[in-house]
Chains A and B, each alone.
Chain A
Amino acid sequence: MGTLLSRLVFIGLSICTFTGCATLIFDRYDKVDIVTQPTGVEIYDSEGFNIGITPVQIPFKRLPRQHLTLRKDGYVDTTVVMSTSINPWGTALFLVEAKEITNMSPSPTIYGTFLVAEALFIIVSDFVLGGVFKKNDTPYIVRMKKRSTSSTLTSIDTNHSGH
Chain B
Amino acid sequence: MLAISYRVIAVGVVASHLMGCGAPALTTVVSGRYDEVIVSTTPSNVSIYDEGGTRLALSPAKLTIARKDQPTLQLRKDGFQDTTIVLKRRVNRLVPLSIIQALVIGGMSFQGSPDGQNFLPWFLFASAINLTWSHLPDYFLGGAWDHKKEIDVRMTKETAE
Contacts and interface: CB of A to CB of B under 8 A. Distances in A.
A115 B64 contact: no
Contact of A29 (B21, B33, B58): B33
Interface stretch (B23-31, B71-79, B82-90, B120-128): B23-31
A50 B34 contact: no
Interface residues of A, number: 46
Contact of A107 (B6, B21, B25, B55): B6
Contacts, number: 123
B34 A29 contact: yes
13 contacts: A4-B4, A8-B15, A11-B12, A12-B16, A20-B29, A24-B25, A29-B33, A50-B60, A53-B56, A53-B58, A107-B5, A115-B13, A129-B32
A15 B12 contact: yes
Contacts of A107: 2-3, 5-6
B16 A104 contact: no
Contacts of A29: 32-34, 64
Contacts of B15: 8, 12-13, 15-16
